[in-house]
Amino acid sequence: MIQVGIIGGAGYTAGELIRLLIHHTKVKINFVYSTSNAGNKISEVHQDLIGTIDMLFTSTINTDVDLVFLCLGHGNSKAFLTENKFSAKTKIIDLSSDFRLKSNKNFQEKDFVYGLPELQKETIKGANYIANPGCFATAIQLALLPLANANLIKEDVHINAVTGATGAGTSLSKTTHFTWRDNNFSYYKPFTHQHLGEINQSVKQLQSDFDGEINFIPNRGNFSRGIFATLYTKYEASLNKAISLYKEYYKKAAFTFVSEYDLHLKQVINTNKCFIHLHKHNNKLLITSCIDNLLKGASGQAIENMNLMFGFEETEGLQLKANFF
* Residue 290, Cβ density class (10 Å: 0-12 exposed, 13-18 middle, ≥19 buried): buried
Integer angstrom CA distances of residue 178 from 173, 182, 222? 10, 6, 9
* Residue 182, Cβ density class (10 Å: 0-12 exposed, 13-18 middle, ≥19 buried): exposed
d(CA 98, CA 51): 35
* 135 among known catalytic residues: yes
Query: Per the residue annotation, which of 71, 135, 274, 290 is the catalytic one?
Result: 135
Torsion on CA atoms 240, 242, 243, 248, rounded to nearest 10: 120
Beta bridge partners of 286: 232, 279
Distance of CA 302 to the CA centre of its chain: 7
Q: Which of 216, 218, 159, 160 is nearest to 191 (CA)?
A: 216
Q: Show which residues are catalytic.
A: 135
